[in-house]
Chains A and B, each alone.
Chain A
Amino acid sequence: MSVYQINKILYLTDNDAAFRKRMKEEPEAALKDFRLTEGEYDALTSGAVGKLYQMGVHTFLLNHLSRYELFGVNRDNYLSRIREGMEYDPRFEQGKMPMQYFIKG
């Protein structure tokens, strides 16, 4: 398991503008330097948020996939994706994603 590596990718996406640009424009090249298993690589690049969650990726970092709209993940599908594979919970009904504003630069 290399959950640490996935956490690191998401951490760098949020904190390193140059890395974020690469993740947007050439994700395959950006991910080359990280040691991911095939399953982890596939889960990440297919935006399988639920699988990544089950693997133990930190949820605050996982949320960056929706913030930066990587691998098809966005505000509208994030919650349904992370819940894939979970049993229904009535608390889901209250779930909502906040609006997102970005500062340019």
Chain B
Amino acid sequence: MKQVRRCVDEAEPDLIIEVDSDHFVNFFYNNLPSFCIGMAEEAQGPQETWCPMPRYTVRGHVPLAKALFRHGVNAKFDFAAAHELRLDHSLVVPLHFLNPSMELPVVPIYTNGFASPLPLATRCFSLGRMLRGFIEAWEGKERIALIASGCFAMDVGGPLRGWTDTEWMETISGLLVRGQYQALARRATEERINAAGNNSGELLNWITVTGAVGKTKPLFLENDEGSGYAVWKFE
């Protein structure tokens, strides 16, 4: 994570777009979008009482969030929009390490990586491509860091808690390191994801980011018990 932090600091971003999956904190089955843009001016989190870390207020960036929504509609991505947010641990943990002063505004993009049926991984890949187009077309002068939050393979609360699907994890890492992003998106079916545990849909956030990086390979990738850290650089 220190290495990721160093790369982010060196890139000197002005703004973060974070692709994340909510864990039944901001969304529930009563209203659960496949893709949603966070439009709040600011939001607090993590909200979970069981999450042992500092509580933060995270600033949003409404103009960019609105522009992204519009760009998405024109590209046939019908996002949901949330103007009020309760941030969960998965959104705040990367920011705790990468944006600890919380000076950089953050626009969250939520993917449903958590409650079946999940969006298709290939659709998330296309979403990433669309995001790249948006970032390149963004008229502001801000430098934008695109962050994915999430693990590769993990189960929290299921009967296989504690077991890690190392085969799937290694498959994912291998495809990422070799830059075979579309192959990863094709192989990441919901069935395969769910077999690796109930948190494994967070992979969709990684796949979204790979849609944005083009052919660029990661500067590095480090595995960590069903999860990993990686950085891509693009201008």
Which A residues form the contact surface with B (CB < 8 A)? Answer: 4, 7-8, 11, 14-15, 17, 53, 58-63, 66-67, 78-79, 82-83, 86, 89, 91-92, 94-97, 100-103, 105
Contact = CB atoms under 8 A, between A and B. Distances in A.
Contact of A95 (B23, B28, B161, B199): B161
Nearest to A90: B163
Interface of B: 23-25, 28-30, 47-52, 55, 86, 114-115, 155-164, 198-199
Contact of A89 (B28, B52, B157, B160): B160
8 contacts: A8-B28, A8-B29, A14-B25, A58-B198, A59-B155, A63-B156, A79-B159, A89-B159
5 nearest CB pairs, A to B: A63-B157, A101-B52, A96-B162, A95-B162, A59-B157
Contact of A62 (B50, B157, B199): B157
A78 B157 CA distance: 8
A17 to B, nearest CB: 8
Contacts of A78: 161
A91 B198 CA distance: 15
Contacts of A97: 161-162
B25 A15 contact: yes
Contacts, number: 83
Majority secondary structure, B binding face: loop
A7, A17, A86, A103: most-surrounded residue (chain B CB, <10 A): A103
A60 B47 contact: no
Nearest to B116: A58
A100 B157 CA distance: 13
A34 B29 CA distance: 15
A83 B115 CA distance: 21
A84 B48 CA distance: 28
Contact of A53 (B30, B51, B159): B159
A60 to B, nearest CB: 5
Given A15-B25, A58-B24, 17 more contacts: A4-B29, A7-B29, A14-B25, A53-B158, A58-B198, A59-B159, A60-B156, A60-B199, A78-B161, A89-B159, A92-B160, A92-B163, A95-B161, A95-B162, A96-B161, A100-B50, A103-B52
B162 A11 contact: no
